[in-house]
């Protein structure tokens, strides 16, 4: 069952049992993770950060770690 608010879907109500609770939760979490990864990939492509090299990534990590070390 889909629950709506002002005609817009906001939640899904699904029947579960004690025996399939963990499996249902796992499937839900996996679906949310897949959606999050797809969103990150789309945003990366839109910003052009999907084309940076491993060297550029390493340099960015090194710069952030250096900045954090100075703050502490």
**Residue 72: its pLDDT value, please?**
75
Say if CB 4 and CB 10 are below 8 A apart.
yes
Burial of residue 35 (CB within 10 Å: 0-12, 13-18, 19+) is exposed
As a whole number of angstroms, the distance between CA 24 and CA 18 comes to 10
pTM: 0.61
As a whole number of angstroms, the distance between CA 50 and CA 43 comes to 9
Nearest to 13 by CA among 24, 3, 28, 27: 3
DSSP 8-state code for residue 65: H
**Residue 71: its pLDDT value, please?**
82
Across the 72 residues of the chain, what is the mean pLDDT of every consecutive 10-residue run? 97 92 94 97 95 95 94 78
């Amino acid at each position: 069952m889909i629950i709506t608010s002002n005609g817009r879907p906001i939640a899904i109500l699904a029947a579960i049992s004690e025996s399939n609770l963990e499996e249902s939760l796992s499937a839900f979490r996996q679906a949310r993770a897949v959606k999050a990864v797809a969103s990150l990939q789309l945003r990366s492509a839109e910003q052009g950060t999907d084309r940076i090299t491993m060297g550029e990534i390493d340099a960015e990590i090194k710069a952030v770690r250096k900045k954090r070390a100075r703050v502490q």
